[in-house]
A and B are shown apart, each in its own frame.
Chain A
Amino acid sequence: MKKFFSLILVVLIAVTFLSGCSGKPAEDVIKIGINYELTGNVASYGQSSVEGIELAIEEINKAGGINGKKIQAVKYDNKSDPAEATSLATKLITQDKVIAILGPATTGAFKATIPVATQHKVPVASGSTTGDDVTVDSKGVKEYAFRICFNDSYQGTAMANYALKNLSKKKAVIIADTSSDYGKGLAENFKKTFTAGGGSIVAEEAYVKGDTDFNAILTKIKGMDFDVIFIPGYYEEAGPIIRQARDLGINVPVLGADGFDSPTLVELAGASALNDIYFSNHYSSLDQDPVVVDFIKNFKAKYNKEPDAFNALGYDLAKFIADGISRADKLTGEAVKDALENTTSFSGVTGSFSIDENHNTIKAIVVIKLENGQQVSSERVSD
């Protein structure tokens, strides 16, 4: 009798395991991994990116998928932790058998997934990692890593040129976030280009993340002779800096980079302080390009809010990968990588771009102007 039961047990176990194998073949869908910061301290970047990605995948599937195959997204939350991002990348590749991975959104976490991707020959792509050494370092280009946004040094250079040429400013003060690579990289490149172009840096001040009192450094620069302020940093500190500067009567134009792009900037600084503010960004909702107009309309219909730059980048990223997969001669990570490398003049919401030999994008930057807290104009600037 005992033997009988153990036999049944063995059969049951066998059935359980075998049934796992006999699922429907995954041939009719294309699996793409989504590895993003859905919780944790940079969750807002991850969540926004994923909203854009999901809108794009929905549109692609509605239009019949890629060469007749629907995209199936496998979504995981890396909790804003690079170590978690690495293990999720491994899981997506080895267990879920995805053909490409989107994300993470931030430089540190994205870089952590690249070794896994290279080892398994599966491309990883990010929409928003602006660090200079993301896709290429001293050892050469990272074969399986792609990004579709410009890098920090490009932003710093572009803003310096904008100050010199478009605004005709010659004397700048830099107030930099020295606790982040982002701030330091931007400050360095701005300085290099600005001085090379005939401008001079009157003063360089520094702050660290979490500071709220900038009155001392602003009072110090108030007595100096300068005509523009560059703040390489994020909106959390840029908002109070602008507010306190305007309170002290410093009314020169303020320049920044994509770290300014948040509705919270207006709350922190107050609308009345946000005059003569220029910052570089990936995309502007004021753009009249039909691709952009359509995107904004569809985004609003799905999420009932205005899209931000991360939404736009996420959207472009999913379309970019889908485009690569559709051009790949077979459905392997290696073939998709080759196709992505050959992307030229891809037309997205964040501008038309090509992939260069370093897996970076060549595209125009958007400079947005704020008056009274509102975006009043945007122009595309390319070097």
Chain B
Amino acid sequence: MEQFMQQVVNGISLGSIYALIALGYTMVYGIIKLINFAHGDVYMFGAYIGYFCMTTLKLDVLPSLLIAMVCSTILGVAIEKIAYKPLRNATRIAVLITAIGVSLLIEYGTMFFMKAGVRTYPPMTGLMAQKFHIKGLVITMQQVLIVIITIILMVLLQFIVKKTRVGKAMRAVSLDRDAAELMGINVDTTISFTFAIGSALAGAAGILVGLYYNSINPLMGVMPGLKAFIAAVFGGIGIIPGAMVGGYVIGVVEVFVSGYLNSMYRDAIVFAILILILIVKPSGLFGRNVREKV
């Protein structure tokens, strides 16, 4: 039982990261029907900004987190303006290929400037180095921080999407872009805003991972990016609560496969989930089956 609970703790920490990244995927897909493959690299960028803030500038965790989120936002919006906006009316496959190109550019650009090797965050001290022992469970301060920050950001996101004018505009654009434009909504600004929010969340995930695992490298975004994509598909791509649930499910499944089966099957099973979902219920857990109009 103790072991089971510990695995749940591990799964939720990992799942929070996937959920944060998956949100960006799903929001961007919801609004322009693009799988933004560069999203995992925005997450990596956030981790490097966090690294820079905490080593060179010697900032504390929270200011570093905010700076990483702001910088990731700028990167995300820049990607959208430079790479995707000129292709707004191009075929979807052209935009998808561009996304892969942008992803490779960011990965290897970072490798060029920062070198390929792993980098480590400074050692944690004081409150951040705390460990909580509850009935045999060990929970580190980093795990607590990851879960708390993820929940705060998700509540904030729900608030923005449901209660603000921009959120309303986002929902309108994702429902029907042309109609939204006719109603006087500035579609370009709304799309940029979506990228901004998604990238800020990815940047936050990046620095949290840096704190949690203490190891970052230029290709760190590839695998979590793919897993988050699976999480988004699992929950129903384009649906925000779906991405949150999907992230946690994928995280917990991964940990349980490693913990109770064999760690070598971990990735295989996660990808098998993607295939199963696509066969059985392509619209995802929370998706409605919409009949294609002919």
Contact = CB atoms under 8 A, between A and B. Distances in A.
A206 B217 CA distance: 21
Contact of B131 (A207, A223, A247): A247
A217 B118 contact: no
A213 B259 contact: no
B266 to A, nearest CB: 8
A178 interface: yes
Given A206-B264, A248-B138, A268 B3 contact: no
A264 B259 contact: no
Given A210-B223, A268-B214, A216 B118 contact: no
Interface string A177-220: 01000000000000000000000000001110010110111011
Tell me the dominant secondary structure on chain A's binding face: helix
B228 interface: no
A247 B6 CA distance: 12
A44 interface: yes
Contact of B263 (A206, A239, A268): A206
Contacts of A243: 214
Interface string B17-36: 00000000000000000000
A219 B209 contact: no
Contact of A268 (B11, B118, B140): B118
A161 to B, nearest CB: 27
Tell me the dominant secondary structure on chain B's binding face: helix
Interface residues of B, number: 35
Contacts of B256: 216
B258 A216 contact: yes
Bin the interface of chain A by size: 20 to 34
A216 B120 contact: no
Contacts of B118: 236, 264, 268
B113 interface: no
Interface in B1-20: 2-3, 6-7, 10-11, 13-14
Interface in B249-294: 254-260, 262-264, 266
Contacts of B259: 216-217, 219-220
A222 interface: yes
A105 to B, nearest CB: 16
Nearest to A218: B10
28 contacts: A205-B263, A207-B263, A210-B219, A212-B220, A213-B213, A215-B13, A215-B14, A216-B7, A216-B11, A216-B256, A217-B263, A219-B6, A219-B7, A219-B259, A220-B3, A220-B260, A222-B3, A222-B6, A223-B2, A223-B3, A236-B217, A240-B214, A247-B138, A248-B6, A264-B118, A264-B120, A270-B123, A271-B123
Given A210-B217, A239-B120, A268-B215, 6 more contacts: A178-B264, A207-B263, A212-B209, A222-B3, A223-B3, A248-B138
Interface of B: 2-3, 6-7, 10-11, 13-14, 116-118, 120, 123, 131, 138, 140, 209, 213-215, 217, 219-220, 223, 254-260, 262-264, 266
Interface of A: 41, 44, 178, 205-207, 210, 212-213, 215-217, 219-220, 222-223, 236, 239-240, 243, 247-249, 264, 267-268, 270-271
